Structure 1
Amino acid sequence: MPRCHTDCVERPLSQCFGALGRCVGRHPLWFLLVPLVLSASLGSGFIFLGEMRSRASSIEDQFTPVDGAAKRERLVVQTNFPREQDGPGQRFSSQRLITEGTYGSLIVTSTSDNILTDDAFGKILKINNKILEMEVENHQNFSTLCAFNGAQCLTNAILELSDTGTPGFPNIIHYPMNNGVFLGTSVGGVQFMNQTSNQIKSARAVRLIYFLREEDNATLNSLWLNKFIITASQMKETEVDVSYFTSLSREEEFENSAKSITPLFSVTYALAINFSIWSCMRLDCVRNKVWVAAFGVLSAGMAVLSSFGLLLYLEIPFSMTVASAPFLILGIGVDDMFIMISCWQQTKVKNTVEERMATAYRDGAVSITITTLTDAAAFALGLLTPFRSVWAFCAYTGTAVLFCFLYSLTFFGAFLALNGRREASNRHWFTCQKVQEPGESASRSKLSSMCCLGGVYDQVTGTEKPLPVNSFFEKFYGPFLTKGWVKVCVVLLYAGYLATSVYGCFQMKEGIDLKNLASDDSYLGHYYDDIDEYFSQYGPSVMVVLNNRDFKYWDKSAQDQLERCLETFESLTFENKSLVDRQLTISWLRFYLLFGKSRNLNLTDKRTFGDNLSGFLKSPSTNLLRQDVNFSVPELKIYASRMFIQTVNINTANDEKNLLYLLRETAKSEVCPQPLEVYHPAFIYFDQYAVIVSNTIQNLLLATLVMLVVSLTLIPNPICSLWVTFAIASIIIGVSGFMAMWDVNLDSVSMINLIICVGFSVDFSAHISYAFISSPKPTANEKAVDALVRLGYPILQGALSTILGVVVLSVSVSYIFRTFFKIMTLVICFGALHGLVFLPVFLTLCGVCGGKVQDQKGNQEGVLDGKDTSKNTRSSTESRGMTGSPGESKCSKSSEANILIRNNAFDPDCHED
C-alpha cells in the first residue's frame, strides 16, 4: 500500500509556497503596494488608541482575575449593605467602605527618633492647615467636599489627641486603642515604655487621611485630589519628611509609566536596522543586501501598525502591557527576514528570479510557518487567562505575529524579488549602475574591486558564497564540544543549571506589587515604602458577612454557633504568628447581647430580640453598627449582617496569600453558619494569588502540548518530539527559577513572558535535534558537529536579533517593561544554551540514530530511523554550501527539516511497500 515517509503535510505545503514565491517573483509591484495600502488603511485605527487605552486603564480590571472570588464577595456586600447617602448627619466609616473610597493621604515621618513631640506636632498642624485651606473651582475646599461624621467633617483622630490649649501631644497615649479610638493606622513605628505596657514612648510616623464625599462630586473631587498632590509635593518642612498618595494615584501613575516607553521605540528600531544591515552586508557590491535588510525591518513595523490598527478598530482595549509587543514583534520579524534572505542566498544565482523565489519560498516559507504557528498558538492559549492584561497582550501580539508572517511573504518577498532583478542584471546595490563581473577586467585594487566589481558566487554549488564564520563551528567549536572531558563538564554544568533552577522555583514569590505599576521615580514608591516600614503591623479589617436570611439570631444555639465561628477567626495563626487581634473585633451581636445583659433582657426570645434591636442601633454610641445589619422591623427579618476582624502581621505577599486562604477556608468550615463570606477591598488584588500558579501551569502545559502537535505535524519525528519536550520543560524550569532570583514575581506580567517562553523554546530545540537525527553522518559525534555547522550561527543570529529587540527595555523606569526584558533575556539565553551546548552533547551521549548499520549482505548503508539515506545525499562540500553568510544558514533554523527531508536524509517521494 502507498506510504509516505515524513513529509505528508510539509511537502504539499512547501509546493504551495513555491507557487506563491513564483507569483511574487513574477508580479513584485502588486505584492509590494497592496500591503502598503493595507497597512496604511488599518493603521488609521490608531485614532482610537486614546479611547481604547482609557478602557484598559483600570488596574483592577487589568491585573486582577476577571472572575475572582472577591468580586463575587463584593457584590454580596453591595447588595446587602448599600452605602448610605453622604451628607450632614451621616457617620462615615472607612472600615465599612466597599471600595477604597475617595481620599488623599499624607505620611509625616520624623528625621529624629520621635514624631510625637511638641515641635513635630506643630509642623503636622501646619501641614494639615495647608491641606484644609486648599481651594479648587468656585472656592471649594475640604470643608465643602469632606465626608461627614455627624454634622462635622471627618477628622484625623491623631490630631484630636493634643491637650486643650496646648500645641502638643498628651504625655500618655495608649496603642493601638486610646480612649476608644483606634490608632493602628494613624501612628507608626511605635516604641513602648516597656515590654508589658501599651503606653507609647515614641513613634516615627503619623498618617493623615482626608476622605471626600463620593455622591455627585467626581469632578470636584478629582480637582481637589490633583491639587492635593501638587501641594504635598511642595511641602518642605525641616526635621520631618512627607510622602503622599491619593485614591487616583495608582491609575494616574500607571498611565504615566506607559508614556515613558515611547522614546525607546526609536532606539529599538535604530538598533534593529543597524544590526540587520550589518548582518546582511557583503563586500560584493552586487550581492549586498543592505536595502533588503532595511525593508525587512519596515515589514515588521508594518505588521505592528496593521495588527494594532485592526484590533483598535474592533474596540479591543489597549492595556499597558501591549506597549511591549512591538519590541518582541521586531525581533520575530527580523528573524523571519534572515530566514528568507538565507534561503534566497542558497538558490542558484544563474536561475531566473521567479525560479529563485520559488525555491526560496519552498524552504523559507515552511520555516517561518513553523515558528509562526508555534508563537501564534502560544498567544492564542494566552487568551484563556483570567487576567485582561495578559489577554490584551496575547490578542495584539498574536495578531501581529500573523501579520508579520503575511508581510514577510508578500511585502518583503516582493522587495526581495526586485532586489533579485537588480542582482541578475549585475547592478550596484546603491547606485543601481551596472558593474563589471570579476572576470571581465584586469586586476584592480581591493577598494576598487569592492566598489566596481560584483556578482561573485560559489562555482561549485552555484549559490552565493558563505562567510568564514561557519567554519568556526566545523573546525573548532564542534570538535571541541564532542571531546569526552568536555561532555563531562557539560553534564555537570547542566546539573548545576537544573539544581539552581529548581531551587529558584521554590523561592518564587507570587502576585504583583501595586507600587510596581508606577514608574521608579513616582512619588508612590516613597509612600508605599513608608507604609511597609511603619504601618505594616495592622493589616486589613476584614468583613465577615453572614448572607443567610433564615438564620435565627435570637436562637441560643444559633448565637453560640456564630460566636464559635467568630472565635475560630480570632484564633487563626500561620507559622506560629497570630493573624487576628481578638481585642479589635467588632461584632454587633456581641454588643447587642451585652446590651441585653445590662438591661436584663431575654434576647433569646424572638419578640424581645426584635423589639429592642432598632433602639439599640439608634443609640449614639452604637449607631455605626446600624450599617452592619440589613433587617426589616415589622417582621424582624434579618437579611444579612456583618462583623469585622482586625488582621495583624501581614507583612509580605506570602502573608497576604495565606491570610486569604485561611479566611476563606474558615468561612466555609462546618463551625460557621452558611453561607458566610469574607471581604475587604484589598482582596480584589489578593485574588491573583488564588489563580496565578494554577493558571500559569495550565497555560504552559497546554502550550507545550500544542507545540508538540505543531512539531509532529510539520517536523514529524517522534524522537525529535521527545527532545523538544525535554528542552521546553528544561527551559521553562530555568526561566522560572532564575527569574525568581532576578527579583521577578510570578504575576500576570511574568505569565505573559512564560507563555512566550514555550513558543521560543521550540525554535531552538526542535531544529537542532532534528538536524542531528536527520544528519547522514555515520557517528553521533559527527552528527552533532554537522548539526552545529548547519545551525550554530543561525541560532546565535536569531538570539541576538531578539535580544536587540528588547534590550532597550532594560533602562525603562517601569517594572512591567523591565520584567519583559529580564524574562525574554532568560528565554533567549537559555534557549541558545540548550541549542548550542546541552542538546548536542546529550544527543551524542544517548547515541540516537547514530552510526551506520550493515544490511544482510554486509554492505555499509546509511540508515536513519529505519529509512534508507543512501539516496539523494549531497557531498559534505555541497551541504556546507547551504550554510552561508549571516542569515545564510538562517533558513536552517526552521526549514532545516524541510531542506534535509528533500536533500539529505529522506527520500521525499511516497512509494510502495
Structure 2
Amino acid sequence: MKVTLGLGGVLIVLASVAASIGFWSFVGVPATLIIIEVIPFLVLAIGVDNIFILVQDYQMDNLREASSQSSRVQQQSIGASTNGHTEESGARLLEIIHGSQFDLRSEVQKRVARSLGRVGPSMLLSSAAESVAFFCGSLTSMPAVRVFALYAGVSLVINFLLQIFAFTALLTLDARREAARKWDVLCCVRNRTPESTIQPPNETSGEEHDRYQSQEQQPDDRRDGAQPHGTWLYQAVSNYLSPFILSRWIRPMLMIILLAWMCVCVALITTRLEVGLDQRLSMPLDSYVLDYFDAISQYLAVGPPVYFVVTAGHNYTQWEPGQQEVCGLSSCSSTSLPSVIGAYAHLANRSYIASPSMVWTDQYSQWLRPNSSNIHCCRVLKSDPHHFCDASDYTSDCVSCLQSDELFPQGEEFNRFIGRFLQQNPDEVCPSGGKAAFASSVQLIKRNNTPSNVSVGATNFMTYHTVLKRPSDYLEALKLSRHIADYALRYWSDHSAKSSVSNNTIFPYSVFYVFYEQYLGMQAETALQLGVCLAAITVIVLLLLGLNFAATFAVLLGVVCIDVSLVGLMSIWDINLNAISLVNLVVCTGIAVEFCAHIVRAYTVSARKTRIERAHESLSEMGSSVLRGITLTKLGGILVLAFSNSRLFQVFYFRMYLGIVVFGALVGLIFLPVLLSYIGPSLNPFAVNAERERRDSSNGGNEEIAQESEMREEGQGESQFQATGCGSNRL
C-alpha cells in the first residue's frame, strides 16, 4: 500500500483543477456546472493513470535490480568457492553491500530518474495530445463546450507539470522512507528490521547497467532468466490475459468481433441516435414537476404558441404587393402567410401546427366594415373625420370609417385607423376590437410627417403547435416552422423582387426555440469537435513517436473505435446527443488516448523480433497500470452515480462514464494489442541496438567471471596434479 503517494496524487489532481479555475476566473471566463462535475473526473482519470505507470515502473525497477544483484552475488560466490576463498569473498561482498561508501539517497535518485526516463515520454505523449485536443476544441461556437475545453486544457497542463515535478519529488521521498524501513504516513517510526530495502549497485557492471538503463526501452530480464514478480494484477495480465488474446485462434475471432461491432454501431448511429435534452431529466425522481409534464402530454389539446414574425418594411398600404400577402380571407392569395399556415394546419400530425393563425389584418378588415347586424365598429364624426365615435353612439352625426367597398383601405387611410383598432377593447356591441388579441402583435412607428402620424412596423401571426412530448418533437416543430416561414418569404421574393416587400423577412418564434435551436446543427458540431480533437491528437502523437506513422495510426484507430462504441451505446441506451453528451464525447476522446498511447509506445520501444512478441511485451508492461489507473479506480465512483436521485446524473454521467471505462478497457487492453500483432509498426532499430548493447555488456561480464573461474580451476587442478607426483621429473 502507498497511502502517501495515493493521497499526494489525488491532491495534485485537485490542485490542478483549482489552479485552472483560478486562472480562467482571473482572466474573466466564467465557470459552469459542467466544469465542476466533469473536469475532476477527466483529470483524475489521466492523472491517476500516469501515477500508476510511474510508481509501477519504479517498483519493477527495484525488483529487477534485486534479482540482478542476487544473480551477481551467486556468480561471485560460486567463483570464490572454487578457489577455496569462500569466507574471504563473502566478507568482501558484505563489505560492499553494507559499506559506508554506499549512498542510499543517491541510489534512490538514480532509480527514480531511470523510471522517469522510461515512462516520462509516455506521460508527455498522453498529456500533450489531450491538452492540445481540448484547446482545439475551444474553437467551437457552443459556449458550454468552449468554456469546458479551455478549463480542461489548462487543468491537464498543470496536472502534468505537477506530476513531473511535485509527484516525482514525493516519489523520491517515499522511496527513501521505504529504503530506510520507515512506516508509511508515520514516517518517523522505523521498523525493527534495520536492513535497507535498496541494495547498492554492482561495482563491476554498474557502468554497463547505467548505460543500458539510460535507454528508453523497457528492459526484459526474463530473457536472462531473471523474472521479477510484480503484483497479482501484473501477473494476471502478463501470464493469462496476454497469452490468451494473442493465441492463434483467438486473434482472428477478436478482429471479426471488433469489425462487426463497428458496423452495428454505425448502423445504430445513423438510424436511432436522437438529438435534444428531455426536460424531465433535469428534475429529481420525486419532483412534482414530473407529474405536471405528464399531465401536459396527456390532457392538453395544443402545445406551445408559435408566432410568425414579419419584420418591419412590409408594405401594408396597398393591396398588391403588400396586403394580400398577409391576409387570410378567401380573396387573398393562396400563398399568403396565413394561407400557408392554414394549409399546414391540416397536416398537424406532420407539420406540428395545430390550428390556423390569428390574422390581425382580417380582424382589422372586419372592424372597419359593418357586420351582418349593421354594426359599425369604426365610426367618425361627419364634421370632423379625425374624431372617432363610440360604437354604441347612434345619436351623433357619425359615419362609417370605410366608405368604399374595398377589403382594406389604401394608402394613408390604412395607417389612419390602425391605432384606434388596437386601442379598442372588444365588447358585446363591437366584438372586433383588436386591443385584447393584437395590441402586442402590431408595432406602430410614429411618423410626424404623415397625416396619420403612425405606420405599421413589425407584426406577428400567432398559432399553436400540437402537443410536443419528446425532444425530437420539439426539434421537428422548430424545423417545420422555419420551413413555413422560408416558403412564404421565398414566394414574396420571387413575385415582388422590386417592391419593398423584399426588404423584410419572416421568422418563427416560440418560447422553446431558444433552447432547441442549438440542436439544429448538433450532428455537424459533434463531427467538427471530434474531428478537430482527433486531428490534434494525430499531430502530437506523430511528433512524439518520432514520425512513426504506423504507431500513430494504431493510436488513432483505437481512439476512433472507443468514440464510435460510445456513440453506439448512446443509441442503444436512450442517451440523446446534446451539449452534455458532446462534452462527454470530448472527454472520451481524451481518456481514450490514455488507454491506447501507453500500449502503443511500449510496443514501439520493444526489441522483440515478431509483432506478437512485441504486443505481448507491451501489454504485459503497461496493461496492469492502465487497468488499475483508469478502469478499476473509476468503476467504484461510477457505480455510485447509478443510485443518484437525479436522472441527469444517471443518464449522462453514469451510463456514459461507464461506457467510456468499459469500451476503453476492451479496446485498449484486448483489441488494440491484437491489432498491433497484425499491423503494428516494424521493429524499432534503436531498440534493437540498445538490446544488443545490453546483451554484449551482460555477456562480457559473464565471460570475465567464467574466465576467472576457469583459471582458478586450472590452477587448482595443476596443484592437485603436482601433489600426486604425476607431474614431477623423478624420471
TM-score (norm: length of structure 2): 0.69
Compute the displacement of 1:689 (Å). 1.4
- Residue 720 of structure 1 deviates from its aligned partner by 1.2
Matched residue SS, 1:871: helix
Deviation at 1:427, TM superposition (A): 3.9
Shift of 1:874: 6.7
Residue deviations 1:820-851 (CA, integer Å, cap 9, x gap): 232122122112111222222233344x456x
Task: Give the alignment partner of residue 678 of structure 1, picking from 462, 484, 508.
Answer: 508
Aligned to 1:88: none
Structure number with greater Rg is 2
Which aligned pairs between 1:853-892 and structure 2 lie closer than 5 A? 864=683, 867=685, 870-873=688-691
Distance 1:330 1:679, change over 3 A: same
Q: Tell me which amino acid in the other structure corresponds to 1:629.
A: V
Answer yes or no: is 1:569 the counterpart of 2:569.
Answer: no
- Say how many residue pairs are matched: 558
Deviations 1:879-902 (A, max 9, x none): xxxxxxxxxxxxxxxxxxxxxxxx
CA distance in 2, matches of 1:380, 1:574: 49
| Contact 2:309–2:460 (8 Å) recurs in 1 | yes
Alignment of 1:633-648 (within 5 A): 634-648=452-466
- Report the Cα offset of residue 525 of structure 1: 2.1
Tell me the residue number matched to 2:299: 534
Separation in 1, partners of 2:170, 2:686: 40
Distance verdict in 2 for CA 1:601–1:841, change over 3 Å: same
Pairing of 1:744-763 with structure 2 (within 5 A): 744-763=575-594
Shift of 1:680: 1.6
Residue of structure 1 equivalent to 2:168: 413
Q: Which aligned pairs between 1:261-276 and structure 2 lie closer than 5 A?
A: none
8 Å Cα contact 2:178-2:197 kept in structure 1: no
Q: Deviations over 1:65-107 (max 9, x none)?
A: xxxxxxxxxxxxxxxxxxxxxxxxxxxxxxxxxxxxxxxxxxx
Equivalent of 1:321, from 25, 29, 34? 34
Q: What is the aligned partner in structure 1 of residue 201 from structure 2?
A: none
* DSSP-derived class of the 2:129 partner: helix
CA contact (8 A) 1:570 1:645 kept: no
Q: Distance in 2 between matches of 1:575 and 1:569?
A: 10
Query: 2:625 pairs with 790, 794, 818, which one?
Result: 794
Tell me, in whole angstroms, the C-alpha distance in 1 between the residues paired with 2:550 and 2:541. Answer: 11
Residue 765 in structure 1 maps to residue 520 in structure 2: no
CA deviations 1:671-705 (Å, max 9, x no partner) are 24531121122111111212322211111000000
The CA deviation string for residues 727-760 of structure 1, in whole angstroms up to 9 with x for no partner, is 2222111101102322221111111110011111
Contact map agreement 2:297 2:468 (CA 8 A) in 1: no
Amino acid at match of 1:638: V
Shift of 1:527: 1.7
Shift of 1:381: 3.3
Q: Does 1:476 align with 2:240?
A: yes
Does the 8 Å CA contact 1:724/1:762 hold for their aligned counterparts?
Answer: yes
Q: Tell me, yes or no, if structure 1 residue 344 matches structure 2 residue 344.
A: no
Following superposition, the deviation at residue 573 of structure 1 comes to 7.5
Q: Which amino acid aligns with 1:337?
A: I
The match for 2:573 among 739, 742, 749 is 742
Residues 369 and 420 (structure 1 numbering): CA distance in 2 closer, same or farther, change over 3 Å? Answer: same
Matched, 1:518 2:283: yes
Tell me which residue corresponds to 2:485.
667
Q: Output the CA distance in 2 between the equivalents of 1:404 and 1:646.
A: 53
Q: CA deviation at 1:295?
A: 2.2
Q: How far apart, CA to CA, are the structure 2 residues paired with 1:873 and 1:588? A: 87
SS in 2 for 1:873: helix
From the superposition, tell whether residues 702 and 364 of structure 1 become closer, same or farther in structure 2 (CA, over 3 Å).
Answer: same
Alignment partners' CA distance in 1, 2:197 and 2:667:
45
Q: CA deviation at 1:658?
A: 1.9
Identity between Structure 1 and Structure 2 (%): 24
User: Relative to structure 1, is the Cα distance of residues 636 and 510 closer, same or farther in structure 2, using a 3 angstrom cutoff?
Assistant: same
Contact 1:579 1:649 in 2 (8 A): no
Residue of structure 2 aligned with 1:555, choices 319, 344, 348: 319
Partner amino acid, structure 2, of 1:693: Q
Asked whether the equivalents of residues 425 and 434 of structure 1 are also in contact (C-alpha less than 8 Å), the reply is no
In the alignment, the residues of structure 2 paired with residue 317 and residue 849 of structure 1 have an alpha-carbon distance, to the nearest angstrom, of 45
Q: Distance in 2 between matches of 1:462 and 1:419?
A: 26
Partner of 2:560: 729
Q: Which runs of 5+ in 2 are unaligned?
A: 66-103, 199-220, 328-335, 371-401, 427-433, 493-500, 697-731
- State the SS of the aligned residue for 1:338: helix
Note the 1:328-367 alignment, pairs <5 A.
328-347=42-61, 352-367=107-122
**Counterpart among 626, 637, 645 of residue 813 in structure 1:** 645
Sort the Cα spacing of 1:575 and 1:594 in 2 relative to 1 into closer, same or farther, 3 A: closer
Q: d(CA) in 1 for partners of 2:622 and 2:517?
A: 45
Instruction: Assess, with a 3 A threshold, how the Cα gap between structure 1 residues 763 and 489 changes in structure 2: closer, same or farther.
Output: same
**Larger CA deviation: 616-625 vs 576-585:** 576-585
Per the TM alignment, residue 426 of structure 1 is displaced from its structure 2 partner at its CA by 4.2
* Aligned partner letter, 1:323: I
Give the letter aligned to residue 558 of structure 1: G
Separation (CA, whole Å) in 2 of partners of 1:463 and 1:352: 22
The 1-side partners of 2:596 and 2:239 are apart by 23
Asked if the contact 1:545–1:677 (Cα under 8 Å) also holds between the matched residues in 2, the reply is yes
Cα distance in 1 between the residues matched to 2:602 and 2:168? 26
d(CA) in 1 for partners of 2:473 and 2:583?
25
1:509 and 2:283 matched: no
Contact 1:331/1:803 (8 A) holds in 2: no
When you count helix as a share of all residues, which structure comes out higher?
2
Amino acid at match of 2:155: A
Q: Please report the RMSD computed on the Cα atoms of aligned residues, expressed in angstroms.
A: 3.3
Contact 1:320-1:389 within 8 A present in 2 as well: no
- Tell me if structure 2 keeps the 8 A contact 1:339–1:367: no
Spell out, residue by residue over 1:217-264, the C-alpha distance to the aligned partner (whole angstroms, 9 max, x if none). Answer: xxxxxxxxxxxxxxxxxxxxxxxxxxxxxxxxxxxxxxxxxxxxxxxx
SS at match of 1:641: strand
Counterparts of 1:578 and 1:740 in 2: how far apart (Å)? 24
Residues of 1 paired with 2:586 and 2:554: CA distance? Answer: 19
Aligned residue identity for 2:286 = D
The residue that corresponds to 1:306 in the other structure is 19
Structure 2 CA distance, aligned partners of 1:520 and 1:461? 61
- What are the Cα deviations for residues 35-75 of structure 1, in whole angstroms up to 9, with x where unaligned? xxxxxxxxxxxxxxxxxxxxxxxxxxxxxxxxxxxxxxxxx
Matched, 1:623 2:470: no
Say if 1:436 and 1:828 are closer, same or farther in 2 by CA, change over 3 A: same
Residues 417 and 869 from structure 1, CA distance in 2 versus in 1: closer, same or farther, beyond 3 angstroms? closer
Q: Report the AA paired with residue 674 of structure 2.
A: V
- Counterpart-to-counterpart distance in 1, 2:283 and 2:183: 51
Q: Which residue of structure 2 lines up, in the alignment, with residue 609 of structure 1?
A: 414
1:333 and 1:404 in contact (8 A); partners too: yes
Kindly indicate whether the alpha-carbon contact (under 8 Å) linking 1:580 and 1:645 is maintained by their aligned counterparts in 2.
no
Range that drifts further, 470-479 or 715-724 = 470-479
User: What amino acid is the match of 1:331?
Assistant: A
1:295 aligns with 2:8: yes
Residues 103-140 of structure 1: per-residue CA shift (max 9 Å, x gap): xxxxxxxxxxxxxxxxxxxxxxxxxxxxxxxxxxxxxx
